[in-house]
């Protein structure tokens, strides 16, 4: 039977993605790493090895390289690929939400997810944050329906988990909510028909996928990745020298209003990509207030049902349960602020699992809803802990928490509206319209804000113009050393290795010019708005914010 809400969702998403693609293709690449993925894709297509960064996740560059092999070598490829994956992710999110909510609420939640500024801004950017989340969503969805409906879907969980990790390494943290959900449904796992056959099949899958995964990892230079992970889990990373360094553990929580909705309409593209630099809209405060009230109401009503008859026994049992939960929570907070990632994740898993066991009412429907609630809580918590401890904070990392964040917005809205139904005549029959109105308002506000913040182009288009110009100016450019403060972009457009050269690391322009000369740099591409005077170099051409310097020869 045709699922009308899903059809509506797909239609809205496709139209929106088409619009976002039109804008993204016009304004160009939004940030540094996309050029790294493009250079890697060029290498995977056996078209060259300039600018390869071996430690990056391989999946998106690999998929992009398939289009390159077919002759379509363009930045647009990675934008379009991102858009297609995004559409797939929205479908998956709807289906996952539909395991907990009805179709109207699931549609609302999916549209709210799209409307999160940090999601819309990065949806077709060519980045890996959203694709990593997309494959994680599908892995979780197949696990949920595999345990609840048909065990055959469990065979898809492991492949999608591996795909998500190869898309974005930190997607592996999704195993924590997976472990919780399996433990919470352990009795169902034991009752799955042919469970031995399922386990045997997954074990074979594991062996094959582990071999494939190992092959990919061995092809990559993962020393930097493992070094960073080691620093985090051992609390030895400072990262002070990095521009994204931020020691605020609660950065993402404190900016949660900005992640719901930005205002005003006019603003900068930088604010769009980094909502923490903007200001939240009135809508963000309203949605937050309603959701928080609804969630507290939900918790209160859940805890106030199913009381035991023996009051003295209840008091003793409850006191023990509360003590255990408090100890685990305190352990979680202490380990978090002591930057102990592994301990924090262990405490989180223990906390949500024992909370489930203590609160389960022995009724399947309630148990199932609670299991999903706590699964999403563990999802949000796993990434919140990791990115809170991580010394580098950028807004797009919040995307990893966005599906769980959206889940609790929907849960809060649902409970809030349920509380109002007995008090407002006609609300029960028209609640579906209320949900749709909320979703469309959120989507409209974010779309208008996106339009108001989007520039005519990014400065990377100036780099493209400069790169095309140098080809005509000096046909022998390929045999000369070229430097830039945005080397991966110049490398992509010229398909030639470019030397990284950054003025900010030197005391003065003379020291920087000496560095360029010592390294034999003949042309230097500078992407700063104010172009310094460099001894022994002269500016030969400017394109927007980009200037091309040429070495002065006697």
Mean pLDDT over 182-196 rounds to: 71
> Exposed, middle or buried: residue 46 (CB in 10 Å: 0-12, 13-18, 19+)?
exposed
pLDDT tops 90 at residue 225 = no
489 touches 507 (CB < 8 A)? no
pLDDT digits (tens, 9 = 90+) for 227-279: 555 555 554 455 545 567 788 899 999 999 999 999 888 888 889 999 999 99
Measured from the Cβ of residue 317, the count of other Cβ atoms closer than 10 Å reads: 13
163 within 8 A of 209, measured Cβ to Cβ: no
Please report the sign of the dihedral spanned by the C-alpha atoms of residue 47, residue 52, residue 58, residue 63.
negative
> In sequence order, what are the residues at sequence separation of 6 or more whose Cβ sits closer than 8 angstroms to the Cβ of residue 13?
86, 87, 90, 91, 114
Q: Residue 201 has what pLDDT?
A: 67
CA distance 342 to 332: 10
Rounded to whole angstroms, how far apart are CA atoms 382 and 346? 10
Predicted confidence (pLDDT) at residue 505 exceeds the cutoff of 70: yes
Distance, in Å, from the CA atom of 542 to the CA atom of 350, rounded to the nearest integer, reads 59
Look at the alpha carbons of 488, 491, 496, 502 in this order and tell me if their dihedral is positive or negative: negative
**By mean pLDDT, which of 138-147, 314-323, 519-528 is the weakest?**
314-323
Q: Which position has the higher pLDDT, 33 or 208?
A: 33
User: Which pLDDT band, with edges at 50, 70 and 90, does 312 fall under?
Assistant: low
Distance CA 221, CA 53 (A): 8
Q: What is the pLDDT of residue 235?
A: 47
What is the structure's pLDDT at 543? Answer: 93
Q: What are 512-521's pLDDT values in tens digits?
A: 999 999 999 9
Pairing outcome for strands 279-280 and 262-263: antiparallel
The residue that leads in pLDDT, 321 or 205, is: 321
| Cα gap 241→127, rounded to integer Å | 24
Q: Hey, what are 343's tokens?
A: 């301990």
> Residue 279 half-sphere exposure, CB side, CA atoms within 13 Å?
7
Q: Which residue has the higher pLDDT, 135 or 300?
A: 135
Cis omega before residue 264 (within 30°)? yes
**What Cα–Cα distance (Å) separates residue 163 from each residue in 196, 201, 220, 434?**
25, 18, 16, 38
Quick one: what percent of the chain has pLDDT higher than 90?
64
Look-up of token digits 């409906």: 149
Rg (CA), the chain: 26
CA dist 303 and 8 (Å) reads 36
* Phi and psi at residue 516, to the nearest 5°: -60, -45
For residue range 352-408, list pLDDT tens digits in order: 999 998 887 655 556 788 999 999 999 999 999 999 998 889 999 999 999 999 999
Domain layout of the chain by residue ranges: 4-306+361-453, 460-551
Q: What is the pLDDT of residues 72-103, one digit of tens each?
A: 999 999 999 999 999 999 999 999 999 999 99
Bigger pLDDT: 388 vs 432:
388
Lowest mean pLDDT among 169-183, 193-207, 354-368: 193-207
Look up residue 342 and give its two tokens: 């592994």
Q: Are 483 and 477 in contact (CB under 8 A)?
A: no
Whether 424 contacts 275, CB under 8 Å: no
Residue 105 pLDDT greater than 80, yes or no: yes
Q: List Cβ<8 Å contacts ≥24 apart for 396-399.
A: 396/118, 396/122, 396/127, 396/129, 396/273, 397/129, 397/252, 398/118, 398/252, 398/255, 398/259, 399/118, 399/119, 399/122, 399/129, 399/130, 399/133
Give the Cα separation of 139 and 160 in Å (integer): 5
Per-residue pLDDT averaged across 405-415, rounded?
A: 96
The rounded mean pLDDT for the chain is: 87
Of 43-57, 110-124, 382-396, the poorest mean pLDDT is in 43-57
What pLDDT does residue 361 have? 60
């Amino acid at each position: 039977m045709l699922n009308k809400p899903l059809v509506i969702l797909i239609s809205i998403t496709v139209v929106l993605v088409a619009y976002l693609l039109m804008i993204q293709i016009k304004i160009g690449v939004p940030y540094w790493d996309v050029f790294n993925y493009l250079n890697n894709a060029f290498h995977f297509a056996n078209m060259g090895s300039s600018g390869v960064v071996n430690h990056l996740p391989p999946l998106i560059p690999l998929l992009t390289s398939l289009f390159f092999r077919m002759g379509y070598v363009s930045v647009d490829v990675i934008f379009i690929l991102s858009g297609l994956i995004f559409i797939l992710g929205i479908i998956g999110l709807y289906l996952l939400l539909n395991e907990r909510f009805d179709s109207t609420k699931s549609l609302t939640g999916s549209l709210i997810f799209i409307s999160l500024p940090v999601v819309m801004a990065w949806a077709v950017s060519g980045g890996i944050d959203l694709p990593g989340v997309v494959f994680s969503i599908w892995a979780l969805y197949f696990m949920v329906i595999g345990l609840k409906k048909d065990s055959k879907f469990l065979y898809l969980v492991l492949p999608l988990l591996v795909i998500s990790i190869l898309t974005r390494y930190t997607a592996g943290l999704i195993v924590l909510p997976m472990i919780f959900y399996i433990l919470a449904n352990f009795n169902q796992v034991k009752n799955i028909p042919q469970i031995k056959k399922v386990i045997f099949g997954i074990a074979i899958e594991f062996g094959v996928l582990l071999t494939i995964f190992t092959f990919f990892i061995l092809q990559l230079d993962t020393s930097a990745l493992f070094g960073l992970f080691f620093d985090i889990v051992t609390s030895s990373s400072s990262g002070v020298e990095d521009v994204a360094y931020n020691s605020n553990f609660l950065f993402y929580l404190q900016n949660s209003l900005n992640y719901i909705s930005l205002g005003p309409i006019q603003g900068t593209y930088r604010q769009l990509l980094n909502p923490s630099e903007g200001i939240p809209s009135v809508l963000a405060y309203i949605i937050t207030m309603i959701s928080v009230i609804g969630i507290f109401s939900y918790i209160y009503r859940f805890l106030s049902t199913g009381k035991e008859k023996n009051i003295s026994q209840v008091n003793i049992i409850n006191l023990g349960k509360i003590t255990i939960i408090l100890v685990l929570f305190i352990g979680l907070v202490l380990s978090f602020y002591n930057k102990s990632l592994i301990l924090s994740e262990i405490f989180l898993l223990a906390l949500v699992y024992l909370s489930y066991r203590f609160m389960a009412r022995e009724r399947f429907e309630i148990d199932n809803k609670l299991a999903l609630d706590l699964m999403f809580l563990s999802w949000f918590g796993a990434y919140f802990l990791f990115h809170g401890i991580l010394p580098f904070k950028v807004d797009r990392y919040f995307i990893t928490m966005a599906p769980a964040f959206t889940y609790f917005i929907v849960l809060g809205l649902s409970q809030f509206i349920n509380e109002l139904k007995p008090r407002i005549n006609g609300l029960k029959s028209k609640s579906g319209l209320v949900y749709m109105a909320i979703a469309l308002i959120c989507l409209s506000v974010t779309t208008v804000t996106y339009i108001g913040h989007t520039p005519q182009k990014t400065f990377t288009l100036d780099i493209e113009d400069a790169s095309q110009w140098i080809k005509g100016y000096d046909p022998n450019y390929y045999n000369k050393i070229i430097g830039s403060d945005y080397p991966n972009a110049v490398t992509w457009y010229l398909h030639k290795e470019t030397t990284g050269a950054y003025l900010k690391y030197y005391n003065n322009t003379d020291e920087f010019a000496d560095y360029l000369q010592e390294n034999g740099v003949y042309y230097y591409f500078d992407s700063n708005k104010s172009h310094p005077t460099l001894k022994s170099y002269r500016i030969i051409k400017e394109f927007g914010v980009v200037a091309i310097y040429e070495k002065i020869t006697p």
